[in-house]
Chain A
Amino acid sequence: MTKLVALLRRGALPILAVVTALLFGAIVIVITDFENLSRLGSDPLGAIGGAIGGVGSGYGAMLSGAFGDPGRILTALQSGSQKDIATAIRPLTETLVASSPLIFAGLGVAISFRAGMFNIGGDGQLIIGALGATTTAIALAGNAPAPVILVAAIIAGTVSGGLWGFVPGFLKARTGAHEVITTIMLNYVAAQVVLFGLRSDFLRAPGSGQPISKVLTTFVDVPSILSLPAIRLDYGFVVALVMAVIVSWLLFRTTKGYELRAAGFNMTAARYAGMSAGGSMMLAMFLSGALAGMGGSFMVIGTVGQLSNDLSGGIGFNAIALALLAGLRPSGVVLAALLFGALTTGGKLMGIQSGIPFDLLFFVQALVIMFVAAPGLVRTIWRIKTPPVEAEVAT
């Protein structure tokens, strides 16, 4: 029982942080609704109603976009028609599809933050990983059986993402260059590298004027979990869950993991204890980039099916928010990634149905990070007197 209470207490702050951030998002939705606001003078009640309605329809679209309609799922399951079931559960599986790269990137961020490295280059590492996977898959197409291509592409993507992450780690360890600046600069460079790669006929989709690669899923595809039409959910999601277990084991059950956390906790102490702080930085950044790269690989040969320069769409930044929200615990990362996956999928429907741009979610995420990093703010807003369990925050 006490354990349960402790668990609830620990969960209270992150949940309040998300709720508060969404409320602030609602305020932004209201004050940018000019047509409604202009009615405030003539018809104040109607304007307030319209404001609540606007937020309601926006967030409502987000909910149904993320989880679907329970009643519809039930009737579809009863009818037994594959097509109906697929359409009904699609929002739910799309949420899982969206959370899969978030789990990978979030685990990466958790590792690097635990080691005291503020890796904000997840976007670049993910897209370079995707480029590595795409190049390998296309190079091997027709020369090897599909399972071999699959494994080779994922390994190549993971390693390329890892190397892209290793560079800032190396620079920090050897020259003291701050990883925040180098990782963000490498994000810009990665975007240019991918654009450059997509110029070549080798990668680019034939006849396409857009920087977009050939479709990979015609010859290599991560197997699906459910054999239903139009359901993209595949075993990449399962691999993401397995990686969470592995990362948890690595961080808390191995010597290397202990050294990583020691370096993040107190670099000087770790150094005096004879640990190689620089080595920990480089290892953490390699693993962090490798996880993001693996996430990108599963996207191009699985759920998304091809490489484009906007493949990532801010996953690297989402990963920071959700990893901090999760208190840098791998299990928490999975939960937070599911939440953010739901926000992402729902946010897209919100954009289509109620014209509220998806980018609002970046603002909401920034607020989530702020509230998690400054627990005092949330306590002031909600008038919580006794501080619950102190939140663990990186660095």
Chain B
Amino acid sequence: MSAPATATHAAQGLAARRALRFARIRGVTFAALGLVLLYAAAGAFATPAVFSFWIDKQGGESAELQTTVGILWMVAGVASGAVGMLQLFRGTAFPWRRWLLVLMLPVLAALLAALLNGTSANLTGVLGGSLELAAPITMGALAGILSERSGMLNIAIEGKMLLGAAVASIVASVILNATGNPLLGALSGVAGAMLVGALVGLLLAWLGIRHKVDQIIAGTVINIGALGITNFLFLRVLGRNTELNTPPTIEPMRLPLLADIPVLGPILFSAKPYVYVAIILMLALTYMLFRTRWGLRLRASGEKPAAAGTVGVNVLAIRYRALLLAGLIAGLAGSYLSLSTAGSFQMGMSAGRGFIALAAMIFGAWHPIGAFGAALVFGFADTSQALLSILGVQVPPQLLNSVPYIVTIVVVAGVVGRVRGPAAAGQPYEQA
């Protein structure tokens, strides 16, 4: 996550040449991928690809989109070739990450059609599901962006999500039992999750700043501790008192008017509130980070804290506040797990999502919008996995289950090129 600090002149020349070489490799790779996809297209024009979408609501009328797998492969191939050419011509200036995300659309559509092999599939659920599963990952990634932009490595998102999920379920159940009001219960569950996330965020900041504990070790402490304490609570308390683990669930919310738009309405505007919150947070943080004084100071603390400190910015206070905010968001993401998917808290239910969120953060180049795009890809991988198993496509479930984790490794390894994170992330700062 932290780039090696080599800032000599020779290294700069070297780095420029290296960047150019990587750009060329990327261009050739895109072009080659295009050829492979066109080759795949040649044999597949006979296989029909039928996708349908619900027009007004789940189970209502549906619109069908009929084409062949070959055409889909061809579109993907041509697109990949075009991106490759653009990359080769524009060199290092080419914003390839954005284009790679765009390119994923036709490639994934074609891949899905090829796996379905002629069976018709309704995509409203898959697309809506991708959006929904992307929401907690986006929020986790936003928490990561806030911390790392301020100069604190935050690998504890996993632990915060897990704690948030447990606390949300318990608080929501208790309030529901006490008041009988599901909405109040759910809202207080969410609030409880955010609170515990914030407290853990402050603990992380305190360990890292006050006690100068290595930020990776501090994060690991929180991750292991969260796993232990939530498992313990589940087995000792929730197992015996099931009334503490039956929270109200947060159901999809139809936005008036917008939800009536044909085809798009059921996908985009009948989603769970978490989706709307994630998108609003993404836009708000983009504005705050890059258009406000607060954002400039936060980024300065993460890039060159000494310089920020010299002009009078209170770097440590900024880092504490960033981790507090990040904790609130990570806790919120955790509440999604217990209140909106399973309907109760289960042991280890975060299942690596906190780390996948970090991968989304890295792939999104520490930018909220990029992270959202990456989270969508993870969400799509997750939901199409469910779709394929429902349709009985013969792929071993263990292979499908590993896909998100392998994709995360590939993304973090940046097989297609290295991203530079905030320069000072992870380094303790001595404030005078």
Contact = CB atoms under 8 A, between A and B. Distances in A.
Top 6 closest pairs, chain A to chain B, by CB: A362-B228, A366-B225, A363-B228, A359-B231, A357-B235, A374-B211
Contacts of B402: 188-189, 192-193
Interface residues of B, number: 46
B355 A184 contact: yes
B377 interface: no
A176 B219 CA distance: 19
Nearest to A364: B228
Interface of B: 1, 3-4, 155, 207, 211, 213-214, 216-222, 224-225, 227-229, 231-233, 235-237, 241, 351-352, 355, 358-359, 396, 398-399, 401-402, 405-406, 408-409, 412-415, 418
A177 B219 CA distance: 17
Interface of A: 28, 32, 34, 118, 120, 171, 175-178, 180-182, 184-186, 188-189, 192-193, 195-196, 199, 267-268, 317, 320-321, 324, 355-357, 359-367, 369-370, 373-374, 376-377, 393-395
A393 to B, nearest CB: 7
Given A196-B399, A377-B211, A395-B217, A182 B227 contact: no
Contact of A365 (B211, B224, B358): B224
B232 A359 contact: yes
Contact of A395 (B3, B214, B221): B214
A177 B412 contact: yes
Contacts of B408: 181, 185
Contacts of A178: 1, 412
A214 to B, nearest CB: 19
B50 to A, nearest CB: 31
A357 B415 contact: no
Given A192-B402, A362-B224, A369-B221, 6 more contacts: A32-B237, A34-B237, A181-B155, A182-B413, A369-B224, A377-B211
A324 B213 CA distance: 12
Contacts of B219: 180
7 contacts: A34-B241, A171-B409, A175-B418, A181-B355, A195-B398, A366-B225, A394-B217
Contacts of B224: 317, 320-321, 362, 365-366, 369
Tell me which of B352, B405, B406 has the highest count of chain A C-beta atoms within 10 A of its own C-beta.
B405
Nearest to B222: A366
Contacts of A175: 413-415, 418
Contacts, number: 145
A181 B358 contact: yes
A180 B224 CA distance: 13
A357 B232 contact: yes
Nearest to B226: A366
A176 B220 contact: no
A357 B211 CA distance: 31
A118 B228 contact: no
Contact of A188 (B3, B214, B405): B405
Given A175-B414, A181-B355, A192 B232 contact: no
B216 A395 contact: yes
Contacts of B241: 34
B354 to A, nearest CB: 9
Contacts of A34: 237, 241
A382 to B, nearest CB: 15
A28 B229 contact: yes
Nearest to A170: B413
Contacts of B355: 181, 184-185
Tell me which of A34, A184, A364 has the highest count of chain B C-beta atoms within 10 A of its own C-beta.
A184
Contacts of A320: 220, 224
A268 B220 CA distance: 25
A176 B214 contact: no
B406 A189 contact: yes
A361 B214 CA distance: 23
Contact of B409 (A186, A356, A361, A394): A186
B314 to A, nearest CB: 22
Given A181-B359, A185-B405, A176 B207 contact: no
B22 to A, nearest CB: 11
Contact of A199 (B227, B396, B418): B396
Contacts of A374: 207, 211, 213
